[in-house]
Amino acid sequence: MNLDHLNTKQREAALHTEGPLLILAGAGSGKTATMTHRIAYLIEQGMSPYKILAVTFTNKAAAEMRQRVEKLVGNCSGMWILTFHSMSLRMLREHYEEAGYERNFVVYDTVDQKALLKNILKEQNIDVKEYPINYISAIISKEKEADRGPEEYKQQQEFNLRSKIIYNVYKEYQKQLKKNNAMDFDDLLRNTLHLLRNYPSILEEYQRRFSYIMVDEYQDTNHIQYQIIRLLAKAHQNLCVVGDDDQCIYEWRGADIRNILDFEKDFPSAKVIKLEQNYRSCGNILEAAHSVIRNNRGRKDKKLWTDQDKGHKIVYSRLSNDKEEASYIAREIALLEGPGRDYDQFAILYRTNAQSRNFEDALRRARIPYQILSGFSFYERKETKDMISYMRLVVNPRDEIAFLRVINEPKRGIGAKTVEKLTALANIRNESLLDTISDEEVIAGLPAKARDSVRQMAETINLCRSEKENLRISDIYDNLLVRTGYMKSLEEQHTQEADARIENLLDFKSFIYDFEKEKSILNEPATLEEFLEKVATDGDADKYETESGKVTLMTLHSAKGLEFPVVFMPGMEDGLFPGHRSIDSEEKLEEERRLCYVGMTRARERLFLTSAEYRVLYGNGDFTRESIFMRELDSRLLDSAGDAVYVPRRSDNNRLGISTGKSDGFNEPEYRPYDPLQYAKKAVKSNAMLGDKEFSEGDKVEHGKFGPGLVLETGEKTITVVFDSVGIKKLAKGMAPLKKL
């Protein structure tokens, strides 16, 4: 194993495999790189990858780490490199019974969580103006992070009206989750901790399995995550944690900086290694970042050095308004892009997603390709969420939130009253809502115009359910999309918005294809359960592609651990960054300052900071003041050339690749030889309706999942086929993706 390109300290850390180890070091000092080499080294020493657990911050980081390790030592399947949430999910899947859930429990994301809370508040007649859903969900989340259930919450609080209301909501919320066989993100962690705590045999199983445990970005672990790790590492103490107290940016989500500062207390025999050389950034960038972060009082002082050149100074520009700011950045990118500097080397890192719109507009106008990582936008699109809900019902018919989301989506003439009645009936009968509407007698009692479409919905889901094992995920998706009437209702609207939704749905299908392809390359089955899990646990940085030829737009938070040659940080204004809530709280201000440090240290060669004199945000416009971080930043490192308010010049247009009148879209050729959207639409439909054809004995057929086969027998509802690949299968007529050959 070649550890030669690590420096002495890094090598020491990679070789220290037995016993607790803390690598505490600043940004870009090679912490993640060291961890990767350490894993590779262990494997090369003969350690089975199966015995290694590495926890990273995003799925993306996990995938990248696996790739790098495999590059060093070859295949390492069986190794758990994943996030805390995916790790918890796996453990809970393996031991769902002990955890108190049924098989195929579902994970509720923030949108589901809020939908559920909304229902509860309504039922309990609580005024959402006084108790906003976000407020309540934040409290519940905090309680869970502190490992307190509703009863513990009650005990701990002073008894008053407010705490009583929250207690009642919290209790009902947990009850409903359980009833729906669901958990939220906080439950994932908390249930895992309880599982390990309450079942010594299970704990022992994982302790024995994971002989070596590593955690990246350790500064951002919360209390529960910390305890999970501590339990797992208790027996052998082979725990290596890697972090930087200056980069703790999730205190608001319960990350506890003390976890890193107290590590030596909890593991007295811990070896501590500090890395001081930064390999990422040019000298000026590093200096500038340091001049900001050193204003934090609650930190261990450390300073990084680099043997790289000083490089360019940091460019700071104050523009007249937020639109100008965006155009300025687009122009700078157009100027800098060229041989050896592709678009994917640029990143625009902003404080909040609400800032992204201006950049999208400006980049589009300048014809600069970009990828945007805005929160969970992809999954939070209404139509994607709807389809995911349908798919969730296929996996778990008891998923009430999913049911309520789609029962009248598309419009089936089911109003709130009917839903109420159905819910009451399902409760009395102690069955799922899906079962209730699968009952002909119930259907007969529905408003006349709703009957057919509700029947069709129930039939489709039930059929997909029973045929799940015989269908690819994409087949299930097509069937749901077409047979529930979802696609049709969009098509009938003939609006641009509906067309855009259809486009998104087809886009989502290619996402499903990708998942299936990936699985088939790994030679693993692509199950709907696993797909939905991926959807539920994918963080925002997970869809990020490197070398995409596109500029990356993302929040500062999701940029953690990444690096880019050129970084833009817009919105350096008090009230935005630091946010207005942090201005009068020293603690919050320090967290914002760490975020600023994280942002600046993403840059390798060039760093641009900008602010706008006038900004419109969330519909409100106001004059701004430069960020306190700008005042802290050592001004000697700033290139003040950019200080002037940018005045656009006419002649700039062509040189900068910004659209001239000609290419504004007005004179674009109308002619479109090939419309992939129409094509994809057709494919979805024909796939969903394939099964309707008649087959007879002896027909040679091709099945979407099982490949070629021969029809043995056709019944009224079933068709029996012998496949070359899997032998004899009985399939549901009208659903099996079969083609006559």
Residues forming the site for ligand ATP (CB under 6 A): 5-7, 10, 25, 27-33, 244, 247, 279-280, 561, 563
Shortest distance in whole angstroms from residue 217 CB to ligand ATP:
7
The helix (H) or strand (E) run that includes residue 88 is helix 84-94
Shortest distance in whole angstroms from residue 546 CB to ligand ATP:
12
Selection from 723, 717, 720 nearest residue 704 by Cα? 723
Q: Which residues contact 324 (CB under 8 A, 6 or more apart)?
A: 612, 645, 646
**d(C-alpha 176, C-alpha 276), whole Å:** 50
Candidate list 64, 184, 217, 383, residue with the active-site label = 217
Based on DSSP, count helices (H) and strands (E) in the chain, helices before strands: 32, 21
Residue showing the smallest CB distance to Mg ion in the complex: 32
Candidate list 109, 186, 187, 216, residue with the active-site label = 216
Output the CA torsion sign for 570, 574, 579, 585: positive
Among residue numbers 559 through 618, which ones bind Mg ion (CB under 5 A)?
A: 561
Candidate list 9, 31, 331, 483, residue with the active-site label = 31
Does 56 help bind Mg ion (rule: CB under 5 A)?
Answer: no
Shortest distance in whole angstroms from residue 552 CB to ligand ATP:
15
| Catalytic annotation present for 345 | no
Shortest distance in whole angstroms from residue 10 CB to ligand ATP:
6
Residue with tokens 């939908």: 115
Q: What are phi and psi of 597, to 5 degrees?
A: -60, -45
Length in residues, the chain: 741
Cα radius of gyration rounded to whole Å, the chain: 28
Nearer to ligand ATP, 58 or 137 (CB): 58
Among residue numbers 290 through 349, which ones bind Mg ion (CB under 5 A)?
A: none
Phi-psi region of 617 (alpha: psi -120 to 50; beta: other; left: phi over 0): beta
279 binds, among ligand ATP, Mg ion, none (CB under 5 to 8 A by kind): ligand ATP
Nearer to Mg ion, 215 or 638 (CB): 215
Query: Which class for 504: exposed (0-12), middle (13-18), buried (19 or more C-beta within 10 A)?
Result: middle
Nearer to ligand ATP, 244 or 386 (CB): 244
29 binds, among ligand ATP, Mg ion, none (CB under 5 to 8 A by kind): ligand ATP
Shortest distance in whole angstroms from residue 97 CB to Mg ion:
37
Phi-psi region of 28 (alpha: psi -120 to 50; beta: other; left: phi over 0): left
Nearer to ligand ATP, 95 or 604 (CB): 604
51 binds, among Mg ion, ligand ATP, none (CB under 5 to 8 A by kind): none
| Catalytic annotation present for 247 | yes
- Spatial contact of 249 and 221, defined as CB atoms under 8 Å apart: no
Among residue numbers 22 through 41, which ones bind Mg ion (CB under 5 A)?
A: 31-32
**d(C-alpha 609, C-alpha 325), whole Å:** 10
Q: Which two tokens stand for residue 624?
A: 């701004």
**d(C-alpha 616, C-alpha 614), whole Å:** 7
**d(C-alpha 137, C-alpha 119), whole Å:** 13
Selection from 325, 291, 323, 289 nearest residue 611 by Cα? 325
| Catalytic annotation present for 217 | yes
| Catalytic annotation present for 431 | no
33 binds, among Mg ion, ligand ATP, none (CB under 5 to 8 A by kind): ligand ATP
Q: Which two tokens stand for residue 161?
A: 């009206």
Nearer to Mg ion, 79 or 242 (CB): 242
Site string for Mg ion, 515-554 (x = CB under 5 A): ----------------------------------------
Shortest distance in whole angstroms from residue 279 CB to ligand ATP:
3
Nearer to ligand ATP, 7 or 320 (CB): 7
Shortest distance in whole angstroms from residue 275 CB to ligand ATP:
7
Q: Which two tokens stand for residue 23?
A: 């690598």
Query: Which class for 521: exposed (0-12), middle (13-18), buried (19 or more C-beta within 10 A)?
Result: exposed
The helix (H) or strand (E) run that includes residue 703 is strand 700-703
Candidate list 9, 398, 602, 705, residue with the active-site label = 602
Nearer to ligand ATP, 31 or 302 (CB): 31
22 binds, among ligand ATP, Mg ion, none (CB under 5 to 8 A by kind): none
28 binds, among ligand ATP, Mg ion, none (CB under 5 to 8 A by kind): ligand ATP
Candidate list 247, 345, 436, 610, residue with the active-site label = 247
558 binds, among ligand ATP, Mg ion, none (CB under 5 to 8 A by kind): none
Shortest distance in whole angstroms from residue 652 CB to ligand ATP:
34
Q: Could you give the maximum distance between any two Cα atoms of the chain, in Å?
A: 84
Site string for Mg ion, 549-568 (x = CB under 5 A): ------------x-------
Nearer to Mg ion, 195 or 347 (CB): 347
Shortest distance in whole angstroms from residue 257 CB to ligand ATP:
15
27 binds, among ligand ATP, Mg ion, none (CB under 5 to 8 A by kind): ligand ATP
**d(C-alpha 391, C-alpha 509), whole Å:** 13
Residue with tokens 């069986």: 78
Candidate list 32, 221, 345, 355, residue with the active-site label = 32
Q: What is the b/e burial string over 437-468, where b = at least 16 CB atoms within 10 angstroms of the residue's CB?
A: bbeeebbeebeeebbebbbebbebbbbbbebb
Binding site for Mg ion (CB under 5 A): 31-32, 561
As annotated, the active-site residues are: 31-32, 216-217, 247, 602
